[in-house]
Amino acid sequence: MTDQSPPEMPPADLPRLGEIGLTNFAPYLMNRIMGRYNASLREEMAGLGLTTPKMRALAVLSVIEGPLIRELAVYSVVEQSTLSRALDQLATEGLIRREADATDSRATRVFITEAGRAAFETLWPHMSEAHSRMFRGIPADERSAFVGTLQKMLTNIRKHEI
């Protein structure tokens, strides 16, 4: 692939972060908001031995039936190696079950158990409550517009997968 243009085209004249302002820069706001959302969930659930990777895996598995581990890693937003170890714990605690894929013997599918569903039942109200706090005072139409934009953004940033 030949490329006529210089290796790194310097941006003509990028607006500066100071000009935009931190609180008008969407990624900054999203990191602030999710930082607190995740921190409060983590604090609330730490007593139950639920770490962030374990919570996320359970939440996804409550909705998606028997994904491959690499798929679960993407859905859960957890590094695959970290997820592998979180699944070890969840399996030991009887909350999930690994099962060899029927047609590809390299692959493993993950299933939530009844105990896992029960654990998620105690987790979900906390997630839901944190969600409600986030959206307090924001009307329904604004909420759905917001989610619509998020969905576009997700398709934008996906590499190609899932």
Partner DNA sequence: CAGTGATATTTGCAAATGCATTTAAATCTG
Partner DNA sequence: CAGATTTAAATGCATTTGCAAATATCACTG
Binding site for its own copies (CB under 8 A): 10-11, 14-18, 21-38, 56, 59-60, 62-64, 75, 77, 124-125, 127-128, 130-131, 133-138, 142-143, 145-147, 149-154, 156-159
The yes or no reply on residue 81 touching DNA (CB under 7 A) is: yes
Pairing of strands 96-100, 108-112: antiparallel
> Judged by CB under 7 A, does residue 99 bind DNA?
no
Burial readout 24-52 (b: 16 or more C-beta within 10 A, e: otherwise): eeeeeeeeeeeeeeeeebeeebeeeebbb
Q: Measure the CA–CA gap between 110 and 61, rounded to whole angstroms.
A: 8
Closer to DNA at the Cβ: 152 or 160?
A: 160
Measured from the CB of residue 139, what is the shortest distance to DNA in angstroms?
34
To the nearest 10°, report the CA torsion of 29, 35, 40, 45.
140
Binding residues for DNA, rule: CB under 7 A, are 42-43, 51-53, 68-71, 78-82, 84-88, 98, 101, 104-109
